[in-house]
Structure 1
Amino acid sequence: MSANNPTARKNHNPKIAMVLSILLAGLGQLYNRRYVKGIIFIILEVSFIVTLAEFINYGIWGIMTLGTLQGTDHSIFLLIYGLISIILIAFALTLYIANVRDAKKDAIRIRNGEKTPTFKEGVRNVWDTGFPYFFITPGLIMLAFIVILPLMFTVALAFTDYSQYTQPPRALLSWVGFDNFARLFFETGGAGNNIWQDTFISVFTWTIVWTLVATTLQISLGLFLALLVNDPRIKFKRLIRTILILPWAVPAFVTILVFAAMFNDRFGAINTDILALFNLSIPWLQDPFYTRIALIMIQTWLGFPFVFALFTGILQSISKDWYEAAEVDGASRFQKFRNITLPHVLFATAPLLIMQYAGNFNNFNIIYLFNEGGPAVRGQNAGGTDILISWVYDLTFELNQYSMAAAITIILGLIVTGFAIFQFRRTRAFKEEGNI
């Protein structure tokens, strides 16, 4: 093509354009005779260097050292400045890469003799093809500083020694690597135990048990009640459905506080009015075992109405012809439930049910409002009913163990992310699936 094209410039080298763009943004465009674009890139780079170079230099120094003068340097501020500098550098590198690629692309066009658009044509093309990006960009910038920056800060804290004994600016923070994670998983104290490891194992185990048992019970109860109400022999279905959905209408925090009063060991209605008839009194708020049972029952009460409403809608969409065909084949009630009802319900609601498990895994409200994660457990720095998220809250606002809280938050985030990825994969599988 270039051999037959008189406008082709074989001596125009794209590598030179790339090198010039790397040396200074815009030089490659000037080499390609795209003067307006080149001047814009030069202005952007020079402005970036003049206005932000000193801040970025200070931020990088701060995140590397976390300060050198005790009582003067504030390690937390230096850490934040450093993270902001990293985000700014990421934005700058993105534009720099775009500048280099643009210079190379134009140079190849010139060498092949292709027509290069004028500045006005380039602006029009960018506006036509990049219109969505112009509106997305402000949101992405806000996302970087509102969401990504706090996440980066949390991750960074997990690798420091930030605690009540190292409060800036009275003391300087230090990078400790994976020591915080090692304290949770591997280290053993001098007496043969490690309070962090023991507490983490206990809290993590209870979190898993809580998530599986409480969520499975609320799903099972919701399915059982939906099957009963959907039975054709049941009358007054609308009234029954309204009554069963009422717990969902009351704000959860109100219900939890009411149950906390009902389960109170001294004056609660459970002990004084119900169990007293059998000469029983259970320490609901003093014994971790009974407190956990109470929490599971309360969560089952709070969670089943949503599942009931969800399953009710799904059950009504199942064709009656399937059940009639199954009856002709001599299928029992259990066989119809196992082969028709259950597959159809799970097929339609599995992603939402997975979200129920993920939600209960991080269900802070019920744990904190019922008994603030208590009762206390000897040899641990978490309550007997604390789950990971409530333990993080205690470490942050009561014990001031910020770095350990950040480390646990990372572990918590990875687990929840695994739930989310599994859910998205299942959702995609359902969309691609044809029939049951």
Structure 2
Amino acid sequence: MRIEKKFNVISLIIIAVFAAAYVAFYFLAHHLFEGTTALMLCLAGCLAIAIIALIFLKKYVTKNIVLPLKNIHSGSSAIITAINEGNFNNRIDIKTEDEFEDLADNFNRMSSVLQTREAALKDVSEKEQNVIRSLTMLSEMMGFITSELKFESILQTFLEMTRSLLKAEHSGIFIFEGESKKLKLFKTTIKGNAPVSLDCARAMLAGPLGKAAKTSSVLRINEATAEFPPDHPAVRNFMAVPLRSSKNKMSALLVTINKNGGFTLDDEDTLFSFAFQAFQSLVLHEVLARLAVTDGLTGLYNHRAFQEKLSEETNRAERYFKTFPLIMLDIDHFKSFNDIYGHQTGDLALEEISKIIRNELRTVDFPARYGGEEFIIILPETGCDGAVIVAERIRRAVAEHQFMSESGERLLLTISAGVACYPTDAALEEDLIKKVDKALYFA
């Protein structure tokens, strides 16, 4: 040990000096004096040498043992206090080139190790908290999905939860239809004076965001402005995560914008784990909701959905003094058609007529299968004359269409149409349906 070695050297030096001084005083005293006087002088000299040696030893011990111990004591106390306060930067600075310096270095290394461990534990704790927050929000999201009927309301809540989960300023989602990747819907949490339009959304998809959507690859950029159009609010950083439903019925690109410090790989994992599960539930909700209001054969709205829409449109027209017409369509001699060519050919004919009806209508119009071979259409914000034109256009398109039997035989079908208007022909829903049915009967 280095301290022990130092003490051995000092001890040998003191003993050697003391012995040499004793011999020197002994010969000097006996050369100059005799008897008791010589002995007393010799002892006095040795005592003086001993006192000097003790003074030297005290200074040495103070410098090399006492002061380092004091520094270690005060330094270790300061380190412990700082660690309790979360500060791991305090250090003990001792340069003695012995075990005291090693002891101080051990304290310093211990502080560094604790700092590393504390950072690791903090990181693990933050990850666990993120997982817990993600699971909690996912649970809340599932509850909201089961209680809310409107898909867009659910989507808006999903975006707010996403933004909150990553502590970002904004979030948005692009919804695409199936494999076509055609933009179906765009939603964002951006509000106020600078809302993001659908045109702005399409412009964003012309850049790297569109590439991320097509290649299904995550895009995480912490210094970016070029990917967003000029009319979009300022963007410091963003992350885009592609999402796809099972069986490719729907896909999406989820974008989070502006997070202090930028987005990390952990943010990517957190967002994906939350968003993927939530998106599957969103798509399932949309599919189930659509099935609940859709006719299984034709893909048009069913009778129940029509009744709800008619009630909604009647209330709106009454409140704002608007008018709207109903068109009822019936396939001529369809029972005979089924008897001759079979129900499978009849079902194919119903599907094709439904496609013709959709192609001749606007997106705001509401076509439904009323029952059997009858169809009914609500035309919001349209006059009676306009409804007659639409009905005639559909009638002509069906008459000109060539239907096919299972054997490949070309077939022709015609339809009849009746029109009635609210409130001109009737002010009550039931009466309006009776009026349009009567108009169809006399067509």
Fold conserved between structures, TM > 0.5: no
As a proportion of its length, which structure holds more strand?
Answer: 2
Larger Rg: 2
As a proportion of its length, which structure holds more helix?
Answer: 1
Structure-1-length-normalised TM-score: 0.17
Structure-2-length-normalised TM-score: 0.17
